[in-house]
Amino acid sequence: MVNISTLKTTPAAHAPVHPLGYGPLHGPRRNEHIVVVLGVGPGLGLSIASVFAAQGYTTAILSRSKERLDQWAQELDTVARARLEQDGECPAKDEPLSLAFACDMLEQSTIHGAMQAIQNAWPKRYIGTCAYNGSIRKRGPFLDIPFHKIEESVAASIFAFFTFAQLTLRAMDKHGMGGSLLVTGASSSTRGAEGFAPFAAAKSIAREFGEKNVHVAHIIIDGLVESKTALQYLGLPADERFEDGVLAKTWLFLAQQDQSAWTFELDIRPAKEKF
């Protein structure tokens, strides 16, 4: 017997079809689902965490700047709490709905430590949606790149992702409810532009764990993500934060996709980007 499945055009009998942004996430139920984002800065990382918090999900945010993360975690907690209350659920006041964890992608032990700390912080919840948003972008002419630069770039985009993927997939394997592993990529995932050699060499990782009920998707961003630095570079007024998660909505969409029609790789670019 050949093991194939079909792309469904109609929902199973009686199953509700939720409009985008309103369905539950693939994996554990909302009140026991943890969304983990590694590589959280004021740009895409925080925006990804925010779209999930706005749906009432518990978020764990990871990067090196713990103090900055702590402030954002408080905001994410408030947002998630408001959403749950709006839906008639009353989360316990002493149980945080978002926490910050210090983690340096270049130190494997800190990734292990942060993942363990997440499980310890919410012993009755399960890791369900994981976003790997970290990368270290090193630019420069190929012949001028010192070895330690390529080492760091590869360590951030390949070794750290490998560890993050192993730990998160193991957690999902253990609870057996599935989940999503969403990996942020860039144009360099598929083609290295001039001056981006270290970055390109380190990208392009996406694996399918479909049989274990885990959705792994690779999102290639082909363009400049709006940030203070990007706006300054373009000579536009600088703003610290995304307003409404325009870009991050794609992460939510992926984590909500029905198992019968999963996206494994997609690219996103502004309408006016050349490609």
Ligand X SMILES: NC(=O)c1ccc[n+]([C@@H]2O[C@H](COP(=O)([O-])OP(=O)(O)OC[C@H]3O[C@@H](n4cnc5c(N)ncnc54)[C@H](OP(=O)(O)O)[C@@H]3O)[C@@H](O)[C@H]2O)c1
Site for ligand X contains 104 (CB under 6 A):
yes
Amino acid letter at 241?
A: R
In the complex, the smallest distance separating the C-beta of residue 24 from ligand X, rounded to whole angstroms, is 25
Q: Is 184 in the site for ligand X (CB under 6 A)?
A: yes
Scanning 5-13, 76-84, 220-228, 258-266 for contacts with ligand X by CB under 6 A, the matching segment is 220-228
C-alpha to C-alpha distance for 126 and 26, rounded to whole angstroms: 12
Q: How far is the CB of 86 from ligand X (least distance, A)?
A: 27
Residue 266 tokens read as 């997609």
- Whether the CB-CB separation of 222 and 273 falls below 8 Å is answered with yes
Residue 96 in the binding site for ligand X (CB under 6 A): no
Q: Please, which residue, 38 or 84, has the CB nearer to ligand X?
A: 38
Alpha-carbon distance values, 219 to 22, 91, 113, 126, 181 (Å): 21, 32, 27, 24, 11
The DSSP bridge partners found for residue 34 are 58, 127
Among 193, 224, 246, 266, binds ligand X (CB under 6 A): 224
Task: Give buried/exposed letters for 203-237 (b at 16+ CB in 10 A, else e).
Answer: bbbbeebeeeebbbbbbbbbbebbbeeeeeeeeee
Q: Which is nearer to ligand X, 84 or 197 (CB)?
A: 197
Site for ligand X in 226-245 (CB under 6 A): 227, 230
Q: Quick check: 134 binds ligand X (CB under 6 A)? A: yes
Provide the token pair at 185. 């990529």
Q: Which stretch binds ligand X (CB under 6 A): 8-16, 26-34, 39-47, 206-214?
A: 39-47
Which of 154, 225, 231, 268: binder of ligand X (CB under 6 A)?
225
Instruction: Tell the smallest beta-carbon distance from residue 111 to ligand X (Å).
Output: 9
Query: In angstroms, what is the minimal distance from the CB of 228 to ligand X?
Result: 9
Render the burial of 140-158: b for 16+ CB within 10 Å, e for the rest: eeeeebeeebbebbbbbbe
User: To 10 degrees, the CA torsion angle through 121, 126, 130, 136?
Assistant: 30
The answer to whether residue 106 forms part of the interface with ligand X (CB under 6 A) is yes
8 A C-beta contact, residue 219 and residue 266: yes
Q: Which region among 5-13, 83-91, 100-108, 206-214 touches ligand X (by CB under 6 A)?
A: 100-108
Summarize as ranges the residues that interact with ligand X (CB under 6 A). Answer: 39-45, 63-65, 103-106, 133-136, 156, 184, 186, 221, 224-225, 227, 230
